[in-house]
Amino acid sequence: MPLCRLLTLAAAALPLASSPAQAQDEGGEKRTRLILGPQLSPSWPGSKDFSVGPYVDFSRTRDDEFAFEAPDESFGSPLVHSGDFAFGPAVGFIGKRKASDVGAALPTVGFSFEAGAFAQAHLTPALRVRLEARKGLSGHKGWAGEISADYIARQGDDWLFSIGPRVTLGDAKYSRAYFGVTPAAAATSGLPAFRPGGGVQSVGVTAGYHRMIGERWGVAVYGRYDRLVGDAAHSPVTREFGSRSQPSVGLALSYTFGDDR
């Protein structure tokens, strides 16, 4: 799967994007953790069908415990980390949507590679808020984003549980790529013409759990549920060929390399 290879390469490259100055100051990272497994998610925004893809995470630390990362956040590594605040790049992917995938003669939306940035802050040790904004460099070519908050309960690296709300957003170009129906497409698909605007696309919640099952091995699982709202929910593409419900689930093994704690 091209998407699988791209995600795996992105995950492997992220540690190289870490701040060189930080690596030099700290004398190199002490421990590395790789999480890898399958996840099931909607094939494209608004889809009622699902696709299997990789659930991948790559983390490094010199501290007693790994920093919290939500299981559904985009690939990224902090370039600026000051106290409880962090800022850095964010990368996302959306697979290609063809007319045959939808079931109607709608324009193809190519594979979308999204690049942007995130900012996050720990308001308390148990509460993190995060904002992402990403630009589609291919495919939909619009702007997409997400606002999230997570409550975190943990016992060091032995186990960690998180849960919190999600709000996804998209500009007009993004929304029209997946939920719009141009007059020309209406003539070929039989759907009414529909021109959505930008704004909130969905609201939802994500829960994740990671537990060590030995000194090196661990297991990670997460579940997410989003509900389309606004123009995304009212789109004839969603009503006739898709679903307002957008669940995702992932299960993976983790392995920790490096010095013992």
Within 8 A by CB and 6+ apart from 80, the residues are: 19, 86, 87, 88
Task: Provide mean pLDDT across the span 235-257.
Answer: 96
Q: Which domains does the chain have, with CATH numbers?
A: 2-18+30-258 (2.40.160)
Cross-sheet strand order for the sheet of 80-82: 50-61, 31-42, 245-258, 217-228, 199-212, 159-170, 143-155, 127-136, 112-124, 85-94, 80-82
Is the separation of the CB atoms in 5 and 12 below 8 Å?
no
Q: What is the pLDDT of residues 133-168, one digit of tens each?
A: 999 999 999 999 999 999 999 999 999 999 999 999
- Residue 156 has a pLDDT of 94
> What global pTM score does this model have?
0.84
pLDDT digit string, tens, across residues 104-136: 999 999 999 999 999 999 999 999 999 999 999
At 260, the pLDDT band (50, 70, 90 cuts) reads low
Q: How confident is the model at residue 29 (pLDDT cuts 50, 70, 90)?
A: low
The backbone torsions φ and ψ at residue 71, rounded to the nearest 5 degrees and listed phi first, read -70, -15
The rounded distance, in Å, linking the Cα atoms of 76 and 89 is 5
Residue 1 has pLDDT above 70, yes or no: no
- Mean residue pLDDT of the chain comes to 89
Type and span of the H or E element at 166? strand 159-170
Task: Say which residue, 29 or 48, is predicted with more confidence.
Answer: 48
Element (H, E) at 10: helix 2-13
Report how far Cα 102 is from the mean position of its chain's Cα atoms: 22
**pLDDT higher than 80, residue 189:** yes
Using the predicted structure, report yes or no on whether residue 53 has a pLDDT greater than 70: yes
Residue 229 C-beta-side C-alpha neighbours within 13 Å:
13
Q: What is the pLDDT of residue 30?
A: 85
